[in-house]
């Protein structure tokens, strides 16, 4: 019989990490501040979970306050409390930070909540899991190899428990992720969500025969850096496009923040700085054969896929699709790609990151 790392949680699920925290009697201390902590505070309020303190790493405390709490160092937390529970409120994919958090988790009771990145309050909790269990099971069955299924299961278990043992149980290296792709056959690619050109540089490294890459980036500051890179790049043609990938070519409102909060908005927002931005369908970009498309568009992956439909049917490019911006992406995007392109084989890759970001669907025909 397979153990918990190889099976989905029992359905219907009766208990999740938020229930556990609500029953906790030890002091609950939050590690980190900023936007993630703001979201976490609101989430904990829903369950009447009391925060005892906020803390930062030793050496980063300057006597400041956050939401009325004096921010302590971790050393001060250990001096103040004999026993406590840590709830993490920030993200990192830096190797040294991930290792530090793993070591902390080995010594202390720590939860790492799965906080939605996109502007939504839909959490992957037990109610969400129970309501979507059939779709989750269907998506799992679609995946084409055992490692992909293990990544899927452990990501689901992490989301429900907040436990690092699942978060780190099945991860991929970047070389392993690219090993799924027909790297020698990729000559023209499209990078939706090109940031400052970092993923274009990465594509150039792995795709030795790459000749041209269309780089779509709507954020003003990121696009400026992308243009600087494109002008300095001599080995391949880099075509910067200041727009957001969407289901059709149009205009829309964009939260222009230069980070992971940058996203397409249905309407202009007074809470976030927004501006009008060009929207572009990927199918409209190139009449030449496209071999590969990467989608990392901060929650607009489904819309960007819809805008790629004609091109995908025409050229059959390999696809790399981010699955972590919305709670339902991990199963709905798998189901969508399988239904729309049934001749594609589907795999998962998840690079080391806390929490479960850097989760990608790899689709190959």
The pLDDT, as a whole number, for residue 274 is 75
d(CA 29, CA 169): 25
In CATH, what class is 174-248+281-364?
alpha beta
pLDDT digits (tens, 9 = 90+) for 145-200: 999 999 999 999 999 999 999 999 999 999 999 999 999 999 999 999 999 999 99
* Mean residue pLDDT across the chain: 93
Q: How far is it, in rounded angstroms, from Cα 317 to Cα 365? A: 7
**Residues for the chain: how many in total?**
365
Q: Scanning the structure block, which residue is given the tokens 């029992």? A: 10
Please give the average pLDDT of every successive group of 10 residues along the chain, which has 365 residues: 84 98 98 94 96 94 91 97 97 96 97 86 95 98 98 98 96 97 98 97 98 97 97 98 95 65 49 78 97 96 98 98 97 98 98 96 98
Number of Cβ within 10 Å of residue 10's Cβ equals: 8
At the top level of CATH, the class of 4-167 is alpha beta
Q: Which residues pair with 72 in a beta bridge?
A: 55
Q: Where are the domains of the chain?
A: 4-167, 174-248+281-364
pLDDT tens digits, one per residue of 10-23 = 999 999 999 999 99
Contacting residues for 118 by C-beta, under 8 A, at least 6 apart:
263, 298, 299, 325, 326
Dist. CA 99–CA 113, nearest whole Å: 18
| pTM for this prediction | 0.93
């Amino acid at each position: 019989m397979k153990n918990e790392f190889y099976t989905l949680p029992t359905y219907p699920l009766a208990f999740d990490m938020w229930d556990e925290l609500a029953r906790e009697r030890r002091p609950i201390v939050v590690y980190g501040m900023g936007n993630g902590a703001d979201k976490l505070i609101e989430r904990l309020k829903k369950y009447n979970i009391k925060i005892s303190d906020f803390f930062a790493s030793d050496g980063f405390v300057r006597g400041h306050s956050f939401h009325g709490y004096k921010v302590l160092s971790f050393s001060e937390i250990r001096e103040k409390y004999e026993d406590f529970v840590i709830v993490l409120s920030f993200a990192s994919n830096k190797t040294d930070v991930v290792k530090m958090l793993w070591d902390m988790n080995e010594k202390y009771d720590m939860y790492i909540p799965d906080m939605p990145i996109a502007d939504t309050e839909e959490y992957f909790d037990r109610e969400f899991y129970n309501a979507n269990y059939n779709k989750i099971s269907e998506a799992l069955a679609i995946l084409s190899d055992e490692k992909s299924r293990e990544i899927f299961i452990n990501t689901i278990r992490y989301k429900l428990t907040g436990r690092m043992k699942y978060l780190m149980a099945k991860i991929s290296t970047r070389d392993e992720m690219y090993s799924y792709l027909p790297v020698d056959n990729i000559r023209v690619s499209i990078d939706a969500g090109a940031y400052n050109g970092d993923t274009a540089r990465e594509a150039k490294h792995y795709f030795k025969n790459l000749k041209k890459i269309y780089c779509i980036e709507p954020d003003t500051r990121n696009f400026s850096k992308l243009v600087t890179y494109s002008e300095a790049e001599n080995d391949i043609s880099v075509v910067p496009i200041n727009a957001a990938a969407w289901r059709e070519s149009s205009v829309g409102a964009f939260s222009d923040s230069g980070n992971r909060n940058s996203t397409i908005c249905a309407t202009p927002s007074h809470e976030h700085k927004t501006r009008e931005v060009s929207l572009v369908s990927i199918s409209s970009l190139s009449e030449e054969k496209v071999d590969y498309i990467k989608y990392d568009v901060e929650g607009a992956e489904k819309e960007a896929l819809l805008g790629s439909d004609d091109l995908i049917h025409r050229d059959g490019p390999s696809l790399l699709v981010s699955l972590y911006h919305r709670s339902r992406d991990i199963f709905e995007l798998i189901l969508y790609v399988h239904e729309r392109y049934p001749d594609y084989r589907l795999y998962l890759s998840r690079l080391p990151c806390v929490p479960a970001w850097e989760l990608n669907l790899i689709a190959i025909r």
